[in-house]
Amino acid sequence: MLMAIGARTLQFFEDTGQFARFGSQALGCSVRCLFRSHAYGLVSTQINAIGVRSVPVIMITGAFVGMTLAIQAYDQLASMGMEEHLGVLINLSVVKELGPVLAAVMLAGRIGGALTAELGTMNVTEQIDAIRSMGTDPVRYLVVPRVMACLLLTPVLIIYADLLGVLGGAMVSFAHLGINGRAYWDFSAHGVAMWDLGIGVIKGFFFGGAIATVSCYKGFTCKEGAHGVGQACTEAFVLSFISILVLDFGLAVAAKAIYQSFWPIRSIVG
């Protein structure tokens, strides 16, 4: 029994170490590739595969989040006679928290699953070994373009989600709840700062990096056979999802600390 726990613990640390090595190699290589133009061909293929086709689903996610928020928050605000503040609540929630997190979760399922399945299949059919056997680094050839594409795309896709969230919220507020448009936007403009939007987008870099690194790692270390690939995909999604939540919390704490030390006056007044 103790032996088994010990072995599991050792295995856990070994896996974590291996992942840390893989991640640092992939991210380091990605940063270096930013300065080498010949890598861009591969990256743009991935951007097409990953990004362009995710736009509709991300927009739908964003729009429904905004719309739902409007419906649900209205009653509480109205009971305090503050329904004109609805815009602040919706837009702040969408831009800072729900847009980035839900978009990232959507991407973890949509892109992460595909990346893990693709690389996992390449692994079990020895295509990754074939790349090594020809003297090319599979991390550089396969992982870096995908990580780069996710790093660049996730913030952009989050902006799409934000945009549609804001529009969806506004649409329901005006058409369904009959809120005065002028007051809605005035309060929103006052309550939502560039800083809030920026936080959401910066979260996107971290989420994108985490999704791509985790998914590629799971693909590279996937076990033999169709079952192995399926299992790797599940594990990749769960791990990406947890990393998104943990990163979100960490970034919220960090952002708050930075905000309070750099904008002390605003935080007292606003």
Partner 1 sequence: MISQSESKSSQETPVLEIKGLVKKFGQRTVLKNISLCFAKGKTTAIIGPSGCGKTVLIKHLICLLRPSTGEVLFKGQRIDELDESALAPIRTRIGFLFQAGALFDSLTVRENILFPVRQHQKGPAFKDADDLVRNKLTMVGLDGFQDYYPANLSGGQQKRVALARAIALDPEVILYDEPTTGLDPIRSDIINELILKLQRELAVTSVVVTHDMKSAYKIADRIIMLHDGNVIVDGDADHVKNHTHPIVQQFIHGRLSEEDLASLNVSSF
Q: Does residue 261 touch partner 1 according to CB under 8 A?
A: no
**Interaction between residue 189 and partner 1 (CB under 8 A):** no
125 binds partner 1 (CB under 8 A): yes
CB of 131 to partner 1, least distance (A): 8
Q: How far is the CB of 43 from partner 1 (least distance, A)?
A: 16
Out of 132, 176, 227, 266, the residue judged to bind partner 1 by CB under 8 A: 132
Close Cβ partners of 91 (under 8 Å, ≥ 6 residues apart)? 165, 166, 169, 188, 191, 192
Least distance to partner 1 from the beta carbon of 194, Å? 41
Q: Which of residues 216-255 bind partner 1 (CB under 8 A)?
A: none
To partner 1, the closest distance from the beta carbon of 118 in angstroms equals 8
φ, ψ at 82 (rounded to 5°): -115, 30
Cα 152 to Cα 46, 101, 140, 161, 172, distances in angstroms: 11, 16, 17, 15, 31
CB distance 175 to 71 below 8 Å? no
Which tokens hold the place of 228? 């192995």
Which one of residues 32, 126, 180, 234 is an interface residue with partner 1 (CB under 8 A)? 126
Chain length of the chain: 270
Among 137, 176, 185, 190, binds partner 1 (CB under 8 A): 137
Sole binder of partner 1 in the list 3, 4, 37, 133 (CB under 8 A): 133
- Contact between 267 and partner 1 by CB under 8 A: the answer reads no
What tokens were used for 63?
């729009």
The dihedrals phi and psi of 177, each to the nearest 5 degrees, come to -100, -10
DSSP structure class, residue 84: G
Q: Are 33 and 152 in contact (CB under 8 A)?
A: no
Residue among 64 and 141 whose Cβ is closer to partner 1:
141
Nearest-approach distance from CB 139 to partner 1, in angstroms: 9
Assess contact for 146 and 212: CB atoms under 8 A: yes
With contacts defined by CB under 8 A, how many residues of the chain interact with partner 1? 13
**Contact pattern for partner 1 over residues 95 through 124, marking x by CB under 8 A:** ---------------------------x--
The angle subtended at Cα 227 by Cα 224 and Cα 233, nearest 5°, is: 95
The one among 129, 234, 245, 267 contacting partner 1 by CB under 8 A: 129
Q: Find the shortest distance in angstroms from Cβ 141 to partner 1.
A: 8
CA distance 112 to 212: 7
Q: Is 15 in the site for partner 1 (CB under 8 A)?
A: no
CB of 122 to partner 1, least distance (A): 8
Phi-psi sector, 193: left (phi>0), alpha (psi -120 to 50), beta: beta
Residues in the site for partner 1, rule: CB under 8 A?
122, 125-127, 129-130, 132-137, 141
